[in-house]
Amino acid sequence: MPRKGPKPWKTLAVLLQALRGYVVVIELKNDVAVQGRLESADMGMTCELEDVIVTHLDRSVSRMSSLFINGRNVRYVHIPDDVNVVRLLQQHRATLDRNAKKYSRGIRKGVQRVIRRGTSRSDKAAAAPSSSGATV
């Protein structure tokens, strides 16, 4: 029996994915704060940020054009105050559902094309080893 885990649309990672394009502050486990525009995030909360400002423990600041953060290093994600989280998640869920339908239709069509084409009997006979037992 397959293991039952959280539904993919009911995780905090989906909220992070929905925040794509927003400026977020991410606190890391080493107490460094990173602020930047979220370009991408995956289900493991691995993030890619653009136009980044990094604030270190000693309050020194450095700027970077882009930064990749491994999900296991994320402690907190500060959601901007102007974001309506419920509406954002509903829109993101609708997008995920739309993409899932597109993807599943594409798979079915692709499989049907392969089945229709198939291989002819002459192709199968050519691919089968000869009965004489000779090898080339």
At 107-121, the pLDDT tens digits run 555 555 555 555 545
- What does the pLDDT read at residue 134? 44
Sign of the CA dihedral with 89 first, then 92, 94, and 96 last:
negative
Q: How far apart are CA 75 and CA 2, in angstroms?
A: 30
Look up the pTM and report it: 0.66
pLDDT of 85 above 60: yes
Dihedral, CA atoms, 124, 127, 132, 133, nearest 10 degrees? -130
Confidence of residue 20 (pLDDT cuts 50, 70, 90): very high
- What does the pLDDT read at residue 109? 53
Q: Calculate mean pLDDT across residues 86-110.
A: 74
